[in-house]
Structure 1
Amino acid sequence: TLAALAAAVGNNSEIIAPANLIEPGCRKITPDMLP
Structure 2
Amino acid sequence: MLEQLKAEVLAANLALPAHRLVTFTWGQRQRGG
* Structure with the larger RCO, 1 or 2 (CA within 8 Å, 6+ apart): 1
Higher helix share: 2
Q: Provide the TM-score with structure 1 as the length reference.
A: 0.27
Q: Provide the TM-score with structure 2 as the length reference.
A: 0.28
Structure with greater Cα Rg: 2
